[in-house]
Amino acid sequence: MLRQDGMIDFVSEIMDLVDEFLRQYEEREGPFRNALEKGLVVSFVLGCIRQDTEEIWDALGQSPTFRGVSPRAIYEESSGEGLSEENELLSEIRERHWLEV
């Protein structure tokens, strides 16, 4: 999560979470019929993670600690560029067999 260069990166943890969901899903529902079905489930899970994260972020912003200042706005103003290279992500997706890339 906290890289040697001081950057914060949750890509591996999120991918591990999706892998665990896929494992549980297949245990319950059986194997995926094809790559498209698996890709759609991965996309849906990522959407759920995003929605949950945004709900937590919104709740955090309602805390009196921030005195009406949006922590989301502060983050957006101070954040840098993306934390992971796209090619690295595609390689990781390929290794996890989420999609045919």
Q: Two tokens at 94?
A: 């390929």
Does this model's pTM top 0.85? My answer is: no
- With a cut of 90, say whether residue 88 has pLDDT above it: no
Please identify which residue in the block is written with the tokens 């309602």.
62
- With a cut of 70, say whether residue 80 has pLDDT above it: no
Rounded to whole angstroms, how far apart are CA atoms 93 and 96?
A: 5
Rounded to whole angstroms, how far apart are CA atoms 12 and 41?
A: 18
The pLDDT of residue 42 is 97
Rounded to the nearest angstrom, the gap between the alpha carbon of residue 6 and the centroid of all alpha carbons in its chain is: 20
